[in-house]
Amino acid sequence: MNYKEYKNLSYPQIGDDILKFWKDNRIFEASVDTREGSPSFTFYEGPPSANGTPGIHHVMARSIKDIFCRYKTLQGFQVKRKGGWDTHGLPVELQVEKELGITKDDIGKTISVEEYNERCRQTVMKFTDQWNDLTEKMGYWVDLENPYVTYENNYIESLWSLLKKLYDKGLLYKGYTIQPYSPAAGTGLSSHELNMPGTYKDVKDTTIVAMFKVKTVESYPVFADVTGLVDLRILAWTTTPWTLPANSALTVGANITYVLVKTFNPYTYEPVEVVLAKDLVGKYFTEKGEDGDFEGYAASDKKLLPWTVLKEFKGKDLEGVEYEQLMPYVQPDKPAFRVIIGDFVTTEDGTGVVHTSPTFGADDFRVAHANGIPAIMVKDENGKEVPIVDRRGRFVKEITDYADRFVKPEYYSAEEQADPEFRATDVLIAIRLKEEGKAFKVEKYEHTYPHCWRTDKPVLYYPLDSWFIKTTAMKDKLVELNKTINWKPESTGTGRFGNWLENLVDWNLSRSRYWGTPLPIWRSEDGEEVCVGAISELKRLLEKANASGKLSSEQAESNKTYLAKLGDGDFDLHRPYVDNIYFVSSQGNVMFREPDLIDVWFDSGAMPYAQWHYPFENHEIFNESYPADFISEGVDQTRGWFFTLHAIAGMLFDSVAFKNVVSTGLVLDKNGNKMSKRLGNAVDPFETLGKYGPDATRWYMITNAEPWDNLKFNIDGIQEVQRKFFGTLLNTYNFFALYANLDGYNFHEATAVPVESRTELDRWILSKLNTLIKEVGEQFDDYNPTKAGRLVQDFVTDQLSNWYIRLNRRRFWNPSSENAGLTEDKKAAYETLQHCLVTVSQLMSPIAPFFAEWLYKSLTDGIREESIKANSHLKYDSVHLTHWPVVEYSDIDLDLEEAMEMAQSISSLVHSIRKKHKLKVRQPLSKVLIPALTEKTSRQIHQVASIILSEVNVKDVDAINDNDGFFHKRAKPNFKVLGKKFGKDMQAVAEKIKLWDNNEIMQLEKDGQYLITDLQPVAAILIDEVEIYTEDVPGWLVASENGLTVALDITVTDELRLEGIARDFVNRVQNLRKDSGFEVTDKIEIALENNNELLASAVIANREYICQEVQAMDLRLVPELIGEINGEIEMDEFLLRINIGVVS
């Protein structure tokens, strides 16, 4: 037996078996090693963090990665794939804190940094086993034996060298960002500290709508056409009046509608014009006051503010309008005080204009920075720029009126607050602004505001020191380089990523944590800095410092300890060890390490270099594997890994880091909701893989939606894929194996039947196959695995199984081969089918690697040795070691494909006629007539006539070129052509054309054009401007579809009737054979009771046919059956009494 036959095959079992085969034979390694010397295709693995368990979405993401690596391997590339682990960062630290029941404050107190980091190091690899297990089970081929690990010294050293490069280029600097800061605790707060329960509280604050006086009103086009303006002011609302002395801009929304309102200052009663968002007018003005009594206001009790809208405009019209500084204590060093555009402005409350103080708001900082607006800063005693509020939350001395006052009343002690004379600073500011005519409304307002979880006092948004990478300096380059990257989908590259690059801000690298890559910068108090770029440099600086004699004995001792460890190779570049390293500046001052860690995204973005410990080692490997040809991660990585890879490569290597990138969508549950372990709708990947096997899971995920679309994950879909695709493919293989084994068929390349002498159907399926190879390759080349998979699936189910096999069954059954051996025709059939299946196994192997392997091996294991000897393409043990099939263009016959498509349509139409007239397929009919309007159609129909005949059980098929009016012809306007020609008259012309029948059309065919004379002007229709089709054949039963018409003669002659009965008879006997448990190959003899004349004559007339079909050696008609009767069956109109038995 050359081909294994399977019953009750389980897909998970295939997975397990193949996995074992791969492991035992190290197929993955071989797939890389056998490509040694070939061009390389580089893939970068985005490192997962192993401190969480993998989910089903990881199966999706990793399938994409795997598919293209496998595809490129088949194409002959060497695809090295180094796995990696992302090991640093906040999630790990938080998990450890949770496990130990501690908070950040305990680190360094109740637990040493050393212990803590050790704990992080262990925790981060906690689920490594699960990850490795998943990787294996889903068939993701990646090198897990030598992964890169971001916490290793070598990895960190590479990062340091990159940071040093940035530093040397002046791209690494210390600046500030606006962060939540607790003056009471004297510390910054991380975002997760701010997310702790109870930090957001409802408080009542004094809020002010301040009035910013516009300068040189008449110089702005937006106001130029409004006459009689006396005092134009822009209204901006703030819940933090203490930030008003730091105001340096006003921000409006570009598309928000604003109005200019004429009214009075409600505190000074002076006439004024104010600008605010149209939607918010109702907040400040009553309906009653609209277009009210301006003249009478002064004399009134001033309770009712009259107002009127003078003009309406968009926010963008206000851009650039300058105003007078509201509280001029400190002057900025650059031009400020103008209106800018920001994307964060809303009209939910306030005035639709945001008071902007770059030192006290993150949005403010960003938008000011983007518009070149300076912050209001003062210089401290060291000449360093500091904000106008100090770190304890008090105004600096330059804010003379409020110097040393706390900006928030909560910062004062309880006693001080209890004093009846006590006024909050905000209140003092409000009073002053009212007096100066700069306040439009002052009120207490209740809102939620974040509080420090330690001190319970309000948090300030405050500028804090941070280290930055000056990505903005390289923005243009990064934008340019991005244009060379092939993004899938394109919109992520141009839109999401492109826009992000366009609005780039500097990369804040600092993290005030413990477990991560330490920033390799040491500073002395006099401001001297050194950035360390290598361990050797660290060593040199250590030695130099110790030799200087400027260190304390403790410092020198600590340095010595580290030096000794460096000598042993037993050192650690993490905290706290590097914190206890001291250098000496040129002035002889001690230099301390800047305490920050760097952003973990830098870790992963540096993997192209650090995974090879570049530039310290592996120059050659690095050079040939940089940049990556392909990467893939979730779309949520756009501003994460995709960006950090791109930024580092662009800034330091003047290169892209990757040439092609597939950004994948999310995996949602079947209802389109996000999966979450908490909600319990998360799918366990191990369970799914265990139940359905890896192939169906992968195939479903890939073919159901394109990778960048979100996938609604539905288990039913996997079952469908399993049944529909894998089940059909399995059946097809089993069919092949069954007969191939019976016939003792085996493939010998040398004696294969030449393609040109194979049957129409063989050549057709081979043509289809080669078209498929071409198209699947194109889709994979385009990084579209979904379309590739769908193409393969359609080929297998629609073409190979439902057409080729179904129509060819007889060739395989043909029982006469027993003595004659394999006929040429039968051999060709096997060769064709086997070739199709082997090719399918290759084409599907990137997506369904296990099943493809199983199929390939089942089809070729039996001929492996011979193939090796013959050095044929089937010599490889694994489908993953083969080479991507080459398209045999000479085998592609599009004309034949077209003809076969017609055969399929014609068959379908005949079936539908039979159906409508209750004529079962077993009843032969005499003729199908097909109007063929072109020579080509007629030829194609003749080419596939025999296929149609056997498929629909008709004796004759005729394609006729009609010119004598046998058909009813109709014409359909070609709108595309005629639309251009007639424009508005199109509809009228179309109506006319639809009314045409044979007369008009014959004239058109004769003259090449037809004039519609009853239209004005006369319309001339050319023959190729309409599509002519036949609608009806008088006297025949007709069906049409897509311009193809089929006419069927349904006259059942006596002869046909008898044949139909004979076929029915065969059918019953076949069933009996099966019921009686006969073997397919058994020969039988039949005795039939002659109880009906019609039945008898049908049997007599078709005796030979019947005998051959049911493999009967003898068919006797007997007057009466005696003894045991093993068949008594009701046929349509007879009672069949029959005896059959096996002939020994």
Partner RNA sequence: GGGCUUGUAGCUCAGGUGGUUAGAGCGCUACACUGAUAAUGUAGAGGUCCGUGGUUCGAGUCCACGCAGGCCCA
Find the binding residues for RNA in span 488-527 (CB under 7 A): 489, 491-492, 495-496, 499
Measure the CA–CA gap between 843 and 1061, rounded to whole angstroms.
46
Minimum CB separation of residue 1074 from RNA in Å reads: 6
Our finding on whether 311 is near RNA (CB under 7 A) is no
Catalytic-residue membership of 164: no
Q: What is the DSSP string of 132-164?
A: HHHHHHTT---EEEEEEETTSHHHHHHHHHHHH
SS3 state of residue 377:
strand
Question: For residues 606 and 613, what is the distance between their CA atoms, to the nearest angstrom?
Answer: 10
- Asked if 345 interacts with RNA (CB under 7 A), we say yes
d(CA 289, CA 561): 80
Q: Is position 195 an interface residue for RNA (rule: CB under 7 A)?
A: no
Answer yes or no whether residue 1063 interacts with RNA by CB under 7 A: yes
Angle at the Cα of 670 (from 667 to 674), degrees rounded to 5? 45
State which of positions 873-932 bind RNA (CB under 7 A).
908, 911-912, 915, 920-922
Residue placing its CB nearer to RNA in the complex, 218 or 636? 636
- Look up 637 and say whether it is catalytic: yes
Assess 987 for contact with RNA (CB under 7 A).
yes
CA dihedral sign of residues 384, 387, 391, 392: positive
Give yes or no for residue 983 binding RNA (CB under 7 A): yes
Cis peptide bond N-terminal to 1017, omega within 30 = yes
Query: Which region holds residue 1029: left if phi is over 0, alpha if psi is between -120 and 50, else beta?
Result: beta
Is 417 considered catalytic here? Answer: no
Beta bridge partners of 1028: 971
Residue in 20, 98, 169, 674 annotated catalytic: 674
**Shortest reach from residue 79's CB to RNA, in Å:** 28
> Rounded to 5 degrees, what are φ and ψ at 750?
-65, -30
Q: Provide the minimum distance between the beta carbon of 561 and RNA in the complex, in angstroms, as a whole number.
A: 41
> Any contact of residue 13 with RNA (CB under 7 A)?
no
Report the site for RNA in 685-744 (rule: CB under 7 A).
Answer: 704-706, 709-712, 714, 716-717, 720, 723-724, 727-728, 731-732, 734-735, 738
Q: Which helix (H) or strand (E) holds 417?
A: helix 414-418
183, 246, 504, 679, 798 from 462: Cα distances, Å: 9, 12, 21, 37, 66
Residue 122 known to be catalytic: no
Rounded CA-CA distance 468/176 in Å is 8
- The interface region with RNA, picked from 219-227, 288-296, 519-527, 1065-1073 by CB under 7 A, is 1065-1073
Determine the interface stretch with RNA among 34-42, 429-437, 472-480, 1074-1082 (rule: CB under 7 A).
1074-1082
As separate numbers, helices (DSSP H) first and strands (DSSP E) second, the chain gives 41, 40
Site string for RNA, 652-671 (x = CB under 7 A): --------------x---x-
Q: How far is the CB of 5 from RNA (least distance, A)?
A: 10
Catalytic site residue from 141, 237, 242, 601 = 601
Per rule CB under 7 A, is residue 192 in the interface with RNA? no
Q: Least CB distance from residue 1132 to RNA, whole Å?
A: 9
How far separated are the first and last CA of the chain, in Å rounded? 25
How far apart CA 448 and CA 203 sit, in angstroms, is 6
Candidates 293, 343, 416, 557: give the one binding RNA (CB under 7 A). 343
Is 565 among the residues known to form the active site? Answer: no
Structure tokens at 477: 């380059």
Per the document, the length of the chain is: 1144
Q: Closer to RNA at the Cβ: 116 or 497?
A: 497
How many residues touch RNA (CB under 7 A)?
A: 82
As a whole number of angstroms, the distance between CA 757 and CA 751 comes to 13
Q: Please confirm, yes or no, whether 601 is among the known catalytic residues.
A: yes
CB of 1048 to RNA, least distance (A): 13
Of 542-550, 924-932, 940-948, 1066-1074, the window that binds RNA (rule: CB under 7 A) is: 1066-1074
Minimum distance, C-beta of residue 908 to RNA, in the bound complex (Å): 4
Contacts to RNA from residues 752-811, by CB under 7 A: 786, 801-802, 805-806, 809
Q: Which of 25, 195, 219, 346 is the binder for RNA (CB under 7 A)?
A: 346
Q: How many CA atoms lie within 13 A of 906 on its CB side?
A: 34
- Footprint of RNA on residues 430-459 (CB under 7 A)? none
Catalytic residue among 66, 86, 317, 762: 86
Q: Determine whether 677 is an active site residue.
A: yes
Q: Which of 78, 179, 611, 637 is catalytic?
A: 637
Q: Which residues, at least 6 apart from 1119, have a Cβ–Cβ distance to it below 8 Å? A: 1089, 1090
Give the nearer residue to RNA in terms of CB position, either 9 or 102: 9
Write the binding mask 609 to 648 for RNA: x where contact by CB under 7 A, - elsewhere: --------------------------xx-xxx--------
Q: Which is nearer to RNA, 403 or 1080 (CB)?
A: 1080
Residues 142-181, one symbol each (x = binds RNA by CB under 7 A, - = not), give: ----------------------------------------
Q: Which residue from 579, 531, 540, 591 is spatially nearest to 563, judged by alpha carbons?
A: 540
Site for RNA in 255-284 (CB under 7 A): 255
Q: For residue 394, which of 385, 402, 404, 386 has the smallest C-alpha distance? A: 404
**Nearest CA among 662, 667, 665 for reference residue 632:** 662
CA dist 1083 and 243 (Å) reads: 102
- Give me the active site residues, please: 47, 86, 601, 637, 641, 674, 677
